[in-house]
């Protein structure tokens, strides 16, 4: 498989992760576009001995973090913008999906990113660590905290996350 085909094969995964990160189709498409553009610009820097997917996710993560820094407000998607399943879901399934989407949105971004890369994209801890440029132990602790928080939110037991502001 040539390099072009390898990148094209990763686009569906990039779109899915971008959609989960941003919560909006238009923002996700922009993020994927920026990721692909940056990957092509930096293609000579990719180490052929490494897997392409974590490298692309690393680029996407960095672009997303940069975007969050530029625009610190959080955009929540409307229920009608949530992804739809191939099969028609029951009303209970739809409610559970909505609750999960909202619970994911309540996670701190660093925990949500790790949870999505491990749970949704099925990357190994080592691949996530390389993609996010953090130690593997940090990946494991963020994933553990994300799972605990998600479980508490879904059970209705979670307290709101308070942001510490220095004076």
Same domain, 67 and 96: no
The number of folded domains in the chain is 2
pTM over 0.95: no
Q: How many angstroms separate the CA atoms of 99 and 41, rounded?
A: 39
**What digits encode the pLDDT tens for the residues 4-56?**
788 888 899 999 989 888 888 888 999 999 999 998 888 877 777 678 888 89
CATH number of the structural domain spanning residue 40:
1.10.1740
Does residue 138 sit within a domain? yes
**What digits encode the pLDDT tens for the residues 70-105?**
765 555 666 666 665 555 556 667 777 777 888 888
The gap from C-alpha 11 to its chain's centroid, in whole angstroms, comes to: 14
43-47 long-range contacts (CB < 8 A, ≥24 apart) are 43/3
CATH number of the structural domain spanning residue 140:
1.10.10.10
Same domain, 98 and 127: yes
**Which of 19, 39, 73 lies at the terminal end of a domain, its last residue?**
73
């Amino acid at each position: 498989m040539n390099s072009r085909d390898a990148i094209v094969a990763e686009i569906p995964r990039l779109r899915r992760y971008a959609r989960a990160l941003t919560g909006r189709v238009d923002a996700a498409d922009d993020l994927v576009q920026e990721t692909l553009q940056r990957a092509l610009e930096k293609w000579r820097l990719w180490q052929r001995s490494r897997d392409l997917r974590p490298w692309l996710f690393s680029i996407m993560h960095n672009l997303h973090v940069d975007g969050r820094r530029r625009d610190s407000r959080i955009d929540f998607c409307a229920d009608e913008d949530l992804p739809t399943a191939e099969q028609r879901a029951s009303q209970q399934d739809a409610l559970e999906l909505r609750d999960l989407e909202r619970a994911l949105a309540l996670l701190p971004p660093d925990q949500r990113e790790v949870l999505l890369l491990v749970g949704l994209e099925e990357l190994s801890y080592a691949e996530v660590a390389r993609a996010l440029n953090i130690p593997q132990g940090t990946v494991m602790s963020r994933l553990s905290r994300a799972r605990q928080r998600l479980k508490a939110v879904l059970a209705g037991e979670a307290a709101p996350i308070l942001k510490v502001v220095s004076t």
